Every structure is written in C-alpha cells, then in structure tokens.
Amino acid sequence: GMKTDHFPSATPNLNDGLIRLSSNENAFGPSAKAVEAMKGELFNLCRYADPTTSVLKKKIAEQEGVSEDQIVVTNGSSPILFGYADWITKNGNKLVTSMATYEGVPRGAEFMGADVTYVPLDANMDFDLDAIEAAVTEETTAVYICNPNNPVGRALDPAKLNAFAKRVSQKTQVFIDEAYIEMSDGYPGNVQSSLAAEGYNVVICRTFSKIHAMAGQRLGYAIMPAAQAKEIGGKLRMGGVNYLGLVAGMASMDDHANLNKMRDMVKVERSKLTAAAEELGRPYAKNPQGNFIYMDTGMPHDQFAEKMRAQGIKVVGRTWPGYDSWSRISVGTPEETDACVKALKTVLA
C-alpha cells in the first residue's frame, strides 16, 4: 500500500491510513531545530509555562515592533478566534466578512448570536474590499479578513489591504488573520503588523500550525490594542499555553533557513495541484498563496470526497455556502501530492 505516515508513529492506530490533505497541515514537518529544542526541554514539562510565555511575547514584540502588552498567546490561534467572536457579541454584536472564508470568527460569532454580514467574493475570488467597506456602518463591531484566505488561497494586494485597513479601522476594528502569510510570495513584504505598531484599530492573528508545521503542538498569537489584549487574553488565559509548544515555536521562529525552505517546498507542491486543475480543465482560484488550492470539481462535494477517499486521499470534509462543488485540497509531501494528482486524474477524468 501507499506509504502515508510520513513520520512513522511509535504508537499504533493513530492514523487512518489515508493521505491527509484535508486540514491544511504542513506535511513537511517541524524544524529539526524545534524538535531538538523540545527534546532538550522534555523533563521541564513539569513546569507551568507562564514565564516562557513572557519570553515569547518579548520575542514577538521585538520582531513586530509592538509592545508586549499588545500580544495574546494561546494554544493554537483558534482560542483567539473564539475569544474574538465572544468579544464581538459584547461590543455591538455585528461582524462583516466574506463568503467563503475561514469559519472561526464568523461561525463562532454566529453561534454566540452575533449578526454576521457575508459580502460575496469578487470576480477574482478575492475579498471585495470596496464592497466590504460599503457594508460597514457606524454599528459594525469588526471586519474579518483572512489573508491569504482559507479556503480560497488568494492573497490581497498588500498596499490595497493596508490602505483599506487604515481607512476602515477609523470606523470599526479590522481583524486580519495571517495564518498562511509566511507561505505567500513576497513575505514578509505583505504582513500587516505595522498597522498595529502604528496604533491602528486592528488585530493581526498568526499561528504556528501552518508554515511552522506545529498544528498538533498548538501555538498561536494575536497583536491587538493593549486594553483589548488584557480583556481577551485575560479570559483565554484559563487553560494557558503549553510549555513544549513555546520552546518549539521560538526555535522555529529563529530557523529562517527552514522557513524559507518551507515556503519554496509548499510552492513546488502547490504548483503540481494547480497544473492538474489546468490539465483537467477545472476552474480553480488562481495563484493560491497558502498550502492548498480551491477547485470546482464539477460534482457535489460529498461525492468527490468519497471518490478521493476510495483513492486513499482525504480532502476537506466540508463545503462553504455557494461553493457546493468546490473542494479545498492541501499540499502534501512530494509523494503525497503526486498520489493526489494521480487520484484527481482518475476521479475527474
């Protein structure tokens, strides 16, 4: 059978044997330096992580030019998205975003009773910044932008997004989820954290789950106005952050050679997927900038996912309203991506 367990697990039965291209994980695995750093600290997992959380905050503050009290650190970035959704419900209860985008903030806010306006993507499948700006009112609590956007993969023009955020943040808070930003062409020229450093009313959210390949270890952070960081971070602090994640995250941040290599490797595998979409004549969101592509398979998603599963490939398990025949497919290792391309050619021929 196909070798799907790239990093063989010492514990049996942890893997269903499918090639996992379903969750935008980074199959290349974490920095060897991060793994070494963790090994050196394994016995210190008896310690609470608070002092080390402060060390990470200091490191992020230096890198991003913000103050430490603007930073919230959590177990993956998902708790921040949840905490932010909760914050929305207590501060006017109105969110503007697009469909399709990552559900964390909008769905979280909806579950908690917020009023969410979904502005359609534009003709390029980008966040329609002009339409979003037009949809913002005096009552709007926040705008959620995901850049690059999950599930679409498109990245916004950095100057255009920057100007948008500067204008719109005069009226409402602009949340920019940069989960995949380090994978995008032009990084770091397209990060928007300078807005936070310059005092604009923005939140910049990042994760170690994607380019740092630490999805299972859980580490993420956000930069926001200090008072808000105190409020949101104070609530999320229950449960805290894990020690080994901090150790690995900081080592990975310092391993610039690895991060550059990751960006290149993601790009190579991603281009195999877009080439397959081209060859099969399937519409897809052009020039994707994360570790995934978004394509119209031409059949109901359940049917496509089932057919891919029969070929040993797990694709995303959900659809986004209005995109019922579209599927998000993550990049894998070279072997995994090749197997996926082969499966796509079988399933969509």
217 binds ligand PLP (CB under 6 A): no
Helix, strand, or coil (residue 51): helix
CA angle 91, 95, 99 (to 5 degrees): 165
Q: Any residues with CB less than 8 A from the CB of 3 and at least 6 apart, and which?
A: 335
Options 76-84, 130-138, 196-204, 315-323: segment touching ligand PLP (CB under 6 A):
76-84
Helix axes 243-254, 256-280, angle to 10 degrees: 90
Cα separation, 309 vs 332, in Å, equals: 15
Is residue 285 within 8 A of residue 323, CB to CB? The reply is no
Our CB check for ligand PLP shows the closer of 294 and 347 to be: 294
Our CB check for ligand PLP shows the closer of 215 and 299 to be: 215
Q: Does a cis peptide bond (omega within 30 degrees of 0) precede residue 151?
A: yes
Helix, strand, or coil (residue 254): helix
Q: Site for ligand PLP (CB under 6 A): which residue of 77, 184, 192, 297?
A: 77
- Contacts of ligand PLP in 227-286 (CB under 6 A): none
177 binds ligand PLP (CB under 6 A): yes
Distance of CA 43 to the CA centre of its chain: 31
Reading the block at residue 40, the tokens are 């050196």
Question: How near is the Cβ of 276 to ligand PLP at its closest, in Å?
Answer: 22
146 binds ligand PLP (CB under 6 A): yes
- Contacts of ligand PLP in 18-57 (CB under 6 A): 24
The count of residues interacting with ligand PLP (CB under 6 A) is: 14
Q: Site for ligand PLP (CB under 6 A): which residue of 209, 217, 291, 327?
A: 209
Binding positions for ligand PLP, rule: CB under 6 A: 24, 76-78, 102, 104, 146, 150, 177, 179, 207, 209, 215, 220
